[in-house]
Amino acid sequence: MIVAPALQVEHLSVEFRTRSGIVKALDNVSFAVGKGETLALVGESGSGKSVTAYAIMGILDPAGRVTGGKAMLGALDLLHATPDEIGKVRGREIAMIFQNPRTALNPIRPVGRQIADVLLRHADVTRREAPARAIELLRAVGITDPARRAKAYPFEMSGGMCQRVMIAIALAAKPSLLIADEPTTGLDVTTQAVIMDLIGELAAEIGMATIFITHDLALAAQRAKHIAVMHAGHVVELAETQEMFAHPRHPYTAELIAATPDTAASLDQLASIPGSLPDLRRADLPPCRYSERCPRKLASCDQPLPVMPPENPHTVACWNPL
């Protein structure tokens, strides 16, 4: 149960206008993340995890638009904030770590100056103090010889080091909410663990809420207190992590868990999820976007999805749950 939410998302809907039609990317997405806690958004590629983050951050592609809902960060609705309002909180109160740090960092600016830029805009730091503070942040995220590395460009650093720089930038102003979008993509297993430990330690230090986006259910189980399972733009199940794994209620969640290598005793027992995500451009999308690949489908599944009460610690959007 979320006691004091740092972010409350309610009925978020997003669509994209493309040459081949309107893509209904998100539909009535709702969840909350508590102060100092970690919520994992999990699901297959294309389920809407990153779109959710971009909508909250106000950085959707120009072809995308929010068609409904709200995202409350304190008293501010991020989805309907003015450019000036969102500019003041983005980087200061809410920050994001992107999937590919090499494309997120400025390739022609030393990393120390990129950190200093954030400090000058969002922290109570003078221009004279900013370079030294940037070096301190590089040291805090575990970069050796930070004074020398501060003068380096992204192409001169490894993927793991670039991700550490991204973490330093994201946490420079000590935000109340961090969104980490697949922060370990492309990193080796050892570096993945170090990066996730670092995010967790720094989050605990400043009492920051974290939304961790991943397709890796095993990693989410290790790092998150709550998990929201997404499928084709819907949140289909939301629960505390231990409860989710012990008693998955949505058929899709159960399929995801069965398809996770850590839960299989052998390769022969490793399951796959039949079917594929529906075409979100369809005019005849069913109310439950999983129904066409679901082994538990009933006639009632053609009705609008049941409401997921926010006060319920384990919610499931399904007419025939497990």
Could you write out the three-class secondary structure of 150-186? CCCCHHHCCHHHHHHHHHHHHHCCCCCEEEEECCCCC
Co-location of 223 and 298 in the same domain:
yes
Amino acid at 298: L
Are both 240 and 300 inside the same structural domain? Answer: yes
pLDDT at site 267:
63
Residue 52 shares a structural domain with residue 130: no
Taking the C-alpha atoms of residue 277 and residue 290, their distance in angstroms, rounded to an integer, is 8
Residues 143, 53 share a domain: no
Within this chain, do residues 82 and 182 fall inside the same structural domain, yes or no?
A: yes
Looking at 174, 190, 218, which one is the last position of a domain? Answer: 174
Give me the half-sphere count of Cα atoms (radius 13 Å) on the Cβ side of residue 286: 18
Domain endpoint, select from 148, 174, 200: 174
Residue 321 is assigned to a structural domain of this protein? no
To 10 degrees, what angle do helices 111-122 and 159-171 make? 10
Helices in the chain by DSSP H: which ranges?
49-57, 83-89, 101-104, 111-122, 130-140, 146-149, 159-171, 189-206, 217-223, 241-246, 251-258
Classify residue 56: in a domain, yes or no.
yes
Residues 206 and 69 in one domain: yes
Token reading at 251: 């058929």
CATH number of the domain at 66, please: 3.40.50.300
Q: Domain for residue 99, yes or no?
A: no
Asked, for residue 19, whether it belongs to a domain, the answer is yes
If asked whether residues 250 and 138 sit together in one domain, one would say: no
Beta bridge partners of 96: 179
In a domain, 278, yes or no: yes
Looking at 140, 174, 208, the residue that finishes a domain is 174
User: How many structural domains does the chain have?
Assistant: 2
Q: Are residues 235 and 302 in the same domain?
A: yes
* 86 lies in the same domain as 167: no
pLDDT of residue 190: 83
Decide if 322 is inside a domain: no
Q: How far apart are CA 120 and CA 286, in angstroms?
A: 49
Residue 25 lies inside a defined structural domain of this protein? yes
As to burial, measured by CB atoms within 10 angstroms (0-12 exposed, 13-18 middle, 19+ buried), residue 45 is exposed
Do both 134 and 186 map to the same domain?
A: no
> How far is C-alpha 282 from the geometric centre of its chain's CA atoms?
26
pLDDT given at position 175: 94
Burial label, 193 (beta-carbon count in 10 A; 0-12, 13-18, 19+): middle
80 and 30 assigned to the same domain: yes
What are the angstrom distances between the C-alpha of 315 and each of 44, 58, 90, 229, 319? 20, 27, 30, 11, 12
Structure tokens at 147: 């004074």
pLDDT at 48: 97
Domain that holds residue 246: 5-93+175-316
N-term to C-term CA, the chain: 21
pTM above 0.85, yes or no: yes
Helices 159-171 and 189-206 pack at an angle, to 10 degrees, of 10
Residue 154 located in a structural domain: yes
218 and 199 within one domain: yes
Written as tens digits, the pLDDT of the chain (322 aa) is 455 789 999 999 999 999 999 999 999 999 999 999 999 999 999 999 999 999 999 999 999 999 999 999 999 999 999 999 998 999 999 999 998 888 899 999 999 999 999 999 998 899 999 999 999 999 999 899 999 999 999 999 998 999 999 999 999 999 999 999 999 887 788 888 888 998 999 899 889 999 999 988 888 999 999 999 999 999 999 999 999 999 999 999 999 998 877 655 566 666 788 888 999 999 999 999 999 999 999 999 999 999 888 778 999 999 999 9
